[in-house]
Amino acid sequence: MVKTPNGKIIVPENFAQLMRAIPGIGQYKIIQEKKDLAVVFIVKGIGFCRNTSRIVIEEIKRIFVGDVQVEPIIVKEIKRDKSGKQRSVASKVPVC
């Protein structure tokens, strides 16, 4: 789960719905580094264009409903966790 700067809790499914709706996203991983910083790793998919990163930034900011910095990073692949799972959302911010 992710905790926004204003204390709202966001479940990973909200991000999954959002990212599925954006054309050109082949794969993604969102990591909340700080309450006000989300890094989004993106593997380009069919339909990716120069506006895709901008759309990702705008839509994630809309979900956070607050002053948050979104940093998209284009990568060739997203590695699985040590457990072998493919987690699409992770947070380094305590939810409690």
How many residues does this entry show for the chain?
96
Q: What is the pLDDT of residues 6-36, one digit of tens each?
A: 888 999 999 999 999 999 999 999 999 999 9
What pTM did the predictor assign?
Answer: 0.91
| Tens of pLDDT, residues 51-88 | 999 999 999 999 988 789 999 999 999 998 888 888 99
Judge residue 38's burial from the number of C-beta atoms within 10 Å of its C-beta, 0-12 exposed, 13-18 middle, 19 or more buried. buried
Least confident of 42-46, 50-54, 84-88, 89-93: 84-88
Alpha-carbon distances, residue 75 vs 29, 42, 45, 60 (angstroms)? 10, 6, 11, 18
- Map out the domains of the chain as residue ranges: 2-91
State whether CATH 3.40.50.720 applies to domain 2-91. Answer: no
